[in-house]
Structure 1
């Protein structure tokens, strides 16, 4: 397996629904690179799409996506626009996105101060 310790990949895409597939496919490819199982790769694919959809709805023209990978984990950070608040994510405005992210990742957190949504998937985590 290639050395993937602490590698990062960044992507900037328009905050438009038709670009969700690009984010999803890159996330899946990177999950394969870091050695996740087929089931985990599918979870990453779903998490990437839901994270992108959530971040696209937060009043921004472009979404910055930062992937950080190592041999058994992928972390994806999505930029959030100024309208994003933790309450939106945790208190019901995005129930479906939160439900999906909580079920397919080990961590899904909105950081208002940093303006990012971070999702993490580790090998064999979040069944």
Structure 2
């Protein structure tokens, strides 16, 4: 289990990223057409980042999980876009945390298998 103080620090750091991302999205809200893209890009990044790191930290250390997310940033972002699309559907969005956790656990497992295969080829 992660210590409560460390968990609080990680949550505060993520809150700062969420605020910054949403300020940018809010500024783009007034630009027609761009506002929809901004919603999906910001939420895809934020949801992908957090849910992947939380899933990865169940099996790895904090730094290793962050490094893995950075290495597979494109894949994690695309999974985050999938979660953001799920979030955009009324009533279905109530299940977003369950869906996001399941997607990211499966993604982490798939990436872990890929990492093992890649390291055995060396």
The structure with the largest alpha-carbon Rg is 2
Greater helix proportion? 2
Greater strand proportion? 1
Report the TM range for the smaller structure's normalisation.
0.3 to 0.5
What is the TM-score when the length of structure 1 is the normalising length?
0.35
